[in-house]
């Protein structure tokens, strides 16, 4: 086992960072909603799933059947990104208006909101299963996967580098927005004390709407990158990934934007190192063992800082 781990160290590191970047982008949605509403939005994984189908529909619409190069590749990637962000963001807003806002207006308990989230998750899964079928669907390859350079025995491909760099840039953009914009200050104020935020003139409904929109758009980015990297989707593609993204959010510190990135990358590395040490069949076991251990020994996560205390 040790020899396998040493041999696979650099490939596992590169793959771990790639997978972890996708986890981190989805985890940001969990973190934002939890920071503001203290709600685990378990339907967020289906917002990601919807984004993967949006990317597939874009490629079918513009009749892409093979890899692109140059400006054509840039255009296709940007179109996939824009549509996935718009569709996932819009779906998240619609989810908030239908599944959560009525409960919030009636002063329902968090348990009721949690049950609503689980119900919405299963509803969206079955809706897409009926519409698109239950079989795995292939997403056409849009870019040739070329090795840019090697790190030890690991190969850094252009698609893997795209995923990692995009995740870091989106996290930085979100962090700057939350810490530097007026809406961002409203999000932090609502996360800290909703009643006082209302007295200070913060529109709670607007803040919640923006929070879901941002989380959905980030899930759309993750969905587009997932489609480029894994080249597949399915009605339940978000289920397992969503649980891992939630694990990443808890690992980094639920309610912490920077912690979501740290937790996502850390989880990606841990599960891939575990798979190279124990065997690939243990990959998911290792990932979910991390969730149990974190909840047992450090429930506040690695950084342990809430959204309301975030600073520039």
For CA atoms 270, 252, 30, 78, the dihedral sign is negative
pLDDT value at position 305? 58
CA-to-CA distance for 10 and 272, rounded, in angstroms? 10
Query: In the numeric block, which tokens belong to residue 60?
Result: 């079918």
pLDDT value at position 311? 43
Contact 30, 40 (CB under 8 A): yes
Q: Each residue of 233-266: b (16+ CB within 10 Å) or e?
A: bbbbbbbebbbbbbbbbbbbbbbbbbbbbbbbbb
Contact 221, 54 (CB under 8 A): no
Quickly list H helices, 62-157.
Answer: 70-95, 101-105, 110-132
Which of 30, 25, 22, 12 lies closest to 286, judged by CA?
12
**Domain extents in the chain:** 2-309
Radius of gyration of the chain (CA): 19
DSSP structure class, residue 68: B
Residue pointed to by tokens 């006082």: 196
Query: In the numeric block, which tokens belong to residue 252?
Result: 């980094």
CA-to-CA distance for 93 and 209, rounded, in angstroms? 6
Which of 81, 118, 95 lies closest to 223, judged by CA?
81
User: 68 phi and psi, to 5 degrees?
Assistant: -110, 165
CA angle 138, 141, 146 (to 5 degrees): 135
Which of 267, 269, 240, 273 lies closest to 252, judged by CA?
267
Which of 207, 218, 124, 126 lies closest to 169, judged by CA?
218
Dihedral angle of Cα 67, 221, 147, 272, to the nearest 10 degrees: -130
Helix 9-37 and helix 182-192: axis angle, to 10°? Answer: 80
CA-to-CA distance for 226 and 135, rounded, in angstroms? 18
Tell whether domain 2-309 is in CATH 3.90.1750: no
CA-to-CA distance for 37 and 104, rounded, in angstroms? 10
- Would you write out the chain's pLDDT as a tens digit for each of its 312 residues? 677 777 889 999 999 999 999 999 999 999 999 988 888 899 999 999 999 999 999 999 999 888 999 999 999 999 999 999 999 999 999 999 999 999 988 988 888 999 999 999 999 999 999 999 999 999 999 999 999 999 988 999 999 999 999 999 999 999 899 888 888 888 888 888 888 888 888 888 899 999 999 999 999 999 999 999 999 999 999 999 999 999 999 999 888 888 899 999 999 999 999 988 888 888 889 888 988 988 888 888 887 756 554 443
Q: Which residues pair with 150 in a beta bridge?
A: 155
CA-to-CA distance for 58 and 157, rounded, in angstroms? 24
Helix 70-95 and helix 44-61: axis angle, to 10°? Answer: 140
CA-to-CA distance for 199 and 186, rounded, in angstroms? 12
């Amino acid at each position: 086992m040790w020899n396998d781990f040493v041999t696979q160290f650099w490939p596992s590191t590169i793959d771990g960072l790639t997978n972890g970047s996708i986890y981190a982008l989805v985890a940001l949605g969990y973190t934002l909603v939890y920071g503001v509403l203290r709600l685990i939005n378990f339907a967020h994984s289906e917002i990601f799933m919807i984004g993967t189908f949006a990317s597939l529909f874009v490629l079918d619409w513009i009749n892409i059947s093979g890899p692109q190069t140059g400006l054509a590749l840039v255009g296709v990637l940007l179109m996939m990104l824009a549509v996935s962000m718009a569709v996932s963001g819009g779906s998240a807003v619609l989810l908030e208006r239908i599944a959560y806002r009525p409960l919030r207006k009636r002063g329902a308990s968090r348990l009721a909101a949690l049950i609503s989230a689980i119900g919405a998750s299963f509803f969206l899964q079955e809706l897409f299963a009926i519409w698109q079928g239950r079989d795995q669907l292939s997403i056409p390859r849009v870019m040739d996967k070329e090795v840019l350079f090697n790190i030890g025995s690991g190969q850094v491909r252009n698609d893997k580098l795209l995923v990692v760099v995009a995740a870091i840039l989106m996290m930085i953009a979100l962090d700057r927005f939350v810490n530097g914009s007026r809406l961002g200050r409203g999000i932090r104020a609502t996360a800290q004390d909703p009643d006082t935020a209302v007295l200070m003139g913060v529109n709670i409904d607007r803040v919640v709407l923006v929070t879901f929109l941002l989380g959905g758009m980030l899930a759309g980015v993750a969905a587009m990158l997932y489609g480029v990297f894994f080249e597949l989707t399915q009605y339940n593609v978000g289920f397992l990934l969503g649980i891992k993204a939630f694990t990443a959010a808890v690992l980094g510190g639920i309610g912490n934007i920077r912690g979501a990135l740290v937790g996502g990358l850390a989880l990606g590395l841990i599960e891939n190192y575990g798979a190279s040490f124990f065997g690939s069949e243990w990959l998911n076991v290792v990932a979910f063992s991390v969730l149990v251990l974190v909840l047992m020994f450090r429930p506040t996560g690695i950084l342990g800082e809430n959204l309301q205390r975030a600073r520039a």
